[in-house]
Homo-oligomer: A and B are copies of this chain.
Amino acid sequence: MALAMPPTPVSSAWTRRAFGICAGLLATGVIGLGGCASSPASSGADALPSWNDGPARQAIVNFVNQVTREGPGYVPPVERIAVFDNDGTLWSEQPLYFQFVFMLDQVKAAAPQHPEWRSHPAFQAMASGDHAALAGNEKAMLELVLAANAGMTAEDYDSRIRAWLAQARHPKTGRLYTDMVYQPQLELLAYLRAHGFKTYIVSGGTVDFMRTWSERVYGIPPEQVVGSFIPLRYELKDGKPALVRQPGMDVNDGPTKPVGIARQIGRRPILAFGNSDGDLQMLEYTAAGAGPRLALLLHHDDADREFAYDRQSHVGKLDKAWDEALAKRWTVVSMKSDWKQVWPATK
By a beta-carbon cutoff of 8 Å, the part of chain A in contact with chain B is: 19-20, 22-24, 26-27, 33, 36, 77-78, 154, 198, 207, 211, 215, 221-225, 229, 231-234, 236, 240-241, 243, 255-256, 258-259, 262-267, 281, 284-285, 288
| Residues on the B chain within 8 Å of A263, using CB | 207, 229, 232, 264
Say whether A288 contacts B240, CB under 8 Å. Answer: yes
Tell me the bound Cα distance from A128 to B141 in angstroms: 56
| Residues on the B chain within 8 Å of A198, using CB | 223
Shortest CB-to-CB span from A189 to chain B, Å, is 16
| Residues on the B chain within 8 Å of A225, using CB | 266
With contacts A207-B266, A223-B264 taken as known, whether A241 is within 8 angstroms of B23 at the C-beta atoms is: no
Shortest CB-to-CB span from A46 to chain B, Å, is 23
Say whether B20 contacts A221, CB under 8 Å. Answer: no
Say whether B234 contacts A154, CB under 8 Å. Answer: no
Tell me the bound Cα distance from A259 to B229 in angstroms: 11
With contacts A26-B20, A27-B23 taken as known, whether A234 is within 8 angstroms of B207 at the C-beta atoms is: no
Tell me the bound Cα distance from A232 to B255 in angstroms: 10
| Residues on the B chain within 8 Å of A262, using CB | 154, 232, 243
Shortest CB-to-CB span from A331 to chain B, Å, is 19
Say whether B265 contacts A222, CB under 8 Å. Answer: yes
Instruction: Out of B207, B211, B221, name the residue touching A78 (CB < 8 Å).
Output: B221
Say whether A78 contacts B215, CB under 8 Å. Answer: yes
A259 to B, closest residue via Cβ: B232
**A-B pairs with the 7 shortest C-beta distances?**
A222-B266, A23-B26, A234-B255, A23-B23, A23-B27, A241-B285, A211-B266
Say whether B265 contacts A223, CB under 8 Å. Answer: yes
Shortest CB-to-CB span from A206 to chain B, Å, is 11
Say whether A284 contacts B24, CB under 8 Å. Answer: no
Say whether B258 contacts A223, CB under 8 Å. Answer: no
Shortest CB-to-CB span from A20 to chain B, Å, is 7
Say whether B240 contacts A259, CB under 8 Å. Answer: no
Most B CB contacts (10 A, CB to CB) among A24, A27, A285 go to A27
| Residues on the B chain within 8 Å of A281, using CB | 234, 241
| Residues on the B chain within 8 Å of A240, using CB | 288
Shortest CB-to-CB span from A201 to chain B, Å, is 11
| Residues on the B chain within 8 Å of A285, using CB | 234, 241
Instruction: Out of B36, B207, B223, B234, name the residue touching A256 (CB < 8 Å).
Output: B234
| Residues on the B chain within 8 Å of A231, using CB | 259
A24 to B, closest residue via Cβ: B27
| Residues on the B chain within 8 Å of A259, using CB | 231-234, 243
Give 15 pairs: A residue, B residue, CB < 8 Å, sorted on A.
A19-B26, A20-B27, A23-B23, A78-B215, A222-B266, A222-B267, A223-B265, A223-B266, A225-B266, A232-B259, A234-B255, A234-B281, A241-B258, A243-B262, A263-B264
Tell me the bound Cα distance from A207 to B265 in angstroms: 10
Shortest CB-to-CB span from A29 to chain B, Å, is 8
Task: A198-B223, A221-B266, A234-B285 are known; give 19 further A-B pairs, CB within 8 A.
Answer: A20-B26, A22-B23, A23-B23, A23-B24, A78-B215, A211-B266, A222-B267, A223-B223, A223-B224, A223-B265, A223-B266, A231-B259, A232-B262, A232-B263, A233-B255, A234-B256, A234-B258, A241-B281, A263-B264
